[in-house]
A = this chain, B = another copy of it.
Amino acid sequence: MSDELALLAANHAYYDAFNARDEEAMAALWAQHNVSCVHPGWPPLLGREAVLSSYEEIFRNPRQKNIAHRHVHCLIDGDNGRVICVETVGEAALVATNWHRLIEGRWLLVHHQASPLAFDLAESDRLLMH
């Protein structure tokens, strides 16, 4: 598998773990060290424990909707691979950066940040469809 395909697979696995509310799968996707996460509206979370705890909290929220993603861009620079994509959560659209590091042959998450798009979904699609 090429580096880019492996990176895309890691990104896909993130959303699969999220939508399955699978804490173990989520934990396996994150690196052990040097991790950070900025959920929409949240203060920044630093360190693996804080980041994984946040997902446990989110997974316990019965009103949490699933996340779909589209408009996926990969950018690989040595051992660093970022994926920038548009997340859709219900009618809301967000831009997510999922930053991975290639550690012992696996792309592991070291940073996630999702921030709301100021456009509705149809307008976002129009802007990004090129």
Binds B, one of A1-9, A10-18, A108-116: A108-116
Residue from the set A73, A82, A95, A97 with the largest chain B CB neighbour count within 10 Å: A95
Quick check: is A122 within 8 A (CB to CB) of the other chain? no
Are the C-beta atoms of A46 and B34 separated by less than 8 Å? no
- Taking a contact as CB atoms under 8 Å apart, the answer to whether A115 and B38 are in contact is yes
Cα–Cα distance between A101 and B95 once the two chains are bound (Å) = 22
> A95-130: contact bitstring with B at CB < 8 Å (1 yes, 0 no)?
101010100000000110111111100001001100
Nearest-Cβ distance from residue A81 to partner chain B, whole angstroms? 11
Q: Which A residues between 24 and 51 are near B, CB-CB below 8 angstroms?
A: 33-34, 36, 38, 40-44, 46
* B34 close to A77 (CB less than 8 A): yes
Q: Which residue of B lies closest to A75 (CB)?
A: B34
In the assembled complex, 20 residue pairs joining A and B whose CB atoms fall closer than 8 Å, in A order, are A33-B77, A34-B75, A34-B77, A36-B82, A36-B97, A40-B115, A42-B117, A42-B118, A43-B86, A43-B95, A43-B119, A43-B128, A46-B84, A77-B101, A77-B110, A97-B113, A99-B111, A113-B113, A115-B116, A116-B116
Interface set of A (CB-CB < 8 Å, partner B):
33-34, 36, 38, 40-44, 46, 73, 75, 77-80, 82, 84, 86, 95, 97, 99, 101, 110-111, 113-119, 124, 127-128
